[in-house]
Structure formats: structure tokens, C-alpha cells
Amino acid sequence: MSLLIVATPIGNLGDITLRAVETLKQSDFVAAEDTRTAKKLFTKFDIHSALIAFHAHSSEREVEKIIEKLKSGKSVALISEAGTPTISDPGSILVRRAIEEEIKVIPIPGACAAIAALSASGLRTDKFLFLGFLPTKKGRRKLIENLKNEERTVIFYESPHRIEKTLQQFGEILGDKREIVLARELTKLHEEFFRGTIAQATEFLTAKKPRGEFTILLAGM
Ligand code: SAM
């Protein structure tokens, strides 16, 4: 049957779509990156489909088990911990395998932190580059250096404990006058946008030590 790539909220449960709820209810199996988060969603929206775990460390065998289910006529919905599956989240291998097996892959669109952040950033949106998480070691510096003359808005995901260090490095390599936007805790109670130069953003982070999830947007030159 079909593999359904179902976007779920990035914080605010009100952002789930009607189609996502219907799809999750009607699917024979829901493959979830985090079964605990999935159970909360299931309780809230009265979903009773069978849950299976599918995460970054799932083996090839587990991918094949899902492919077998699909080939035997079952429908499988894929959800990640938050947002759109496969976008800096597991699932691309499963999607590729399904396509190879001529299984229909259907996106059920919804929240995605990168797009939500970009849409309200005030930065150029006609052309942008999504880089997901920066590599922590190898290739990191080179990658940032390559953005010196980048004209498009660049979007990154970053973990809260690395954000200060990342901005310091951006300042060193790209110059601390480059414009940046930090989108914090999108769709949640403490949602906040910081807009300014890299120097100002670093100051803001050092002074306020804000917590939570961040999406970083670097203005194009
Ligand atoms: N697949 C997800 C999506 O569609 O947005 C992204 C998953 S990725 C593992 C998690 C990263 O997304 C976080 O480290 C953060 O950079 C960003 N993110 C997720 N939720 C966010 C939120 N509510 N506000 C800001 N950034 C968020």
C-alpha cells in the first residue's frame, strides 16, 4: 500500500492538520521516531493505530520489515519526534527503499521549523539554502567559510548547548556585522525572534542564556 510521510507539530499540538489525524487513524501501522511523543499525540487525538519504533539507529532489517508490511498491502505512516519526517530526521532510507519497490510515497505536509522560521524572519525568502545541522567536527570550518559570499538566506538547525559556540564561530569567520535571525521555541509559549547582527546575537545569548530549540537564519550577502 502507501508509505505516508506525516508532519506533526513542532511544539504546539494545535498545528496538527486534519489530514494528519485522519491519516494516522487510518494507517495500519505508525512508524515513530519517538514512541513516547507519539503516544501523547495518539492520546490527544484518539488515535489507536499500531505503533512501531523507527529511528536513526534502526537497522536495515527494520527498514525491510516495514517494506514487507507495505508490500503485503498494509499502510504505514511515518512520523518523527516533531515536524516533517526526513528533514534532519530519520526516514530518507525508508523513502528510497519504498520508491525502489514501486510503493507509493505520499507526503502529508505540515509543520517544519525551517520553513516556519524563514516565513517570519524578515530575511530574503525567494531563494534560500537549508543546511540542517552543521557538522560538529570535520568540514565544519570550511562549510562556514564557503558562506562568506552566499547571497541566499541560509537556514540551520542547532542544538541549544552549541548555539553560543556556533555564533562565535560565525562571527570569527563571517564577520560579526552579518545579519542573523534566531528563531526560538517556535509555536510554543516562549516563542521569540531575535533579529540583529551576529555580534548582537552573541551578546543576547551570553546575557540572557535563553533555553529551548533554535533555528538559525543567516542573511545572504
Ligand atoms: N524534522 C523537524 C522539522 O521539520 O522541523 C526538524 C528536526 S531536527 C532533529 C530538530 C531541530 O529543529 C532542533 O534542534 C531545532 O534546531 C529545530 N527546531 C525544532 N523545533 C523547533 C522549534 N519549535 N523552534 C525552533 N527550532 C526548532
Q: Both 120 and 160 in a single domain?
A: yes
Q: Both 90 and 158 in a single domain?
A: no
User: Which residue from 149, 150, 109 is spatially nearest to 129, judged by alpha carbons?
Assistant: 150
Give helix 18-26 / helix 35-45 axis angle, nearest 10°. Answer: 110
Domain containing residue 184: 113-218
Q: Which of 6, 10, 15 for a ligand 1 pocket mutation test, highest count of atoms within 8 Å of Cβ?
A: 10
If pLDDT is split at 50, 70 and 90, which confidence band does 39 have? very high
- Residue 197 belongs to domain with CATH number: 3.30.950.10
Q: Which of 92, 215, 216, 217 for a ligand 1 pocket mutation test, highest count of atoms within 8 Å of Cβ?
A: 215
Q: Both 13 and 103 in a single domain?
A: yes
User: 94-114, pLDDT tens digit by residue?
Assistant: 999 999 999 999 999 999 999
pLDDT of residue 33: 97
Q: Both 81 and 175 in a single domain?
A: no
Domain-terminating residue out of 41, 76, 108: 108
Q: Both 199 and 133 in a single domain?
A: yes
Q: Both 122 and 190 in a single domain?
A: yes
Q: Both 13 and 80 in a single domain?
A: yes
Domain count, the chain: 2
The average pLDDT across 150-167 equals 96
Q: Both 101 and 117 in a single domain?
A: no
How far is the centre of ligand 1, averaged over its atoms, from the C-alpha of 215 (Å)?
Answer: 7
User: 195-212, pLDDT tens digit by residue?
Assistant: 999 999 999 999 999 999
- Residue 52 belongs to domain with CATH number: 3.40.1010.10
> What is the pTM (predicted TM-score) of this model?
0.97
pLDDT of residue 150: 98
How far is the centre of ligand 1, averaged over its atoms, from the C-alpha of 33 (Å)?
Answer: 14
pLDDT of residue 31: 98
How far is the centre of ligand 1, averaged over its atoms, from the C-alpha of 85 (Å)?
Answer: 11
pLDDT of residue 160: 94
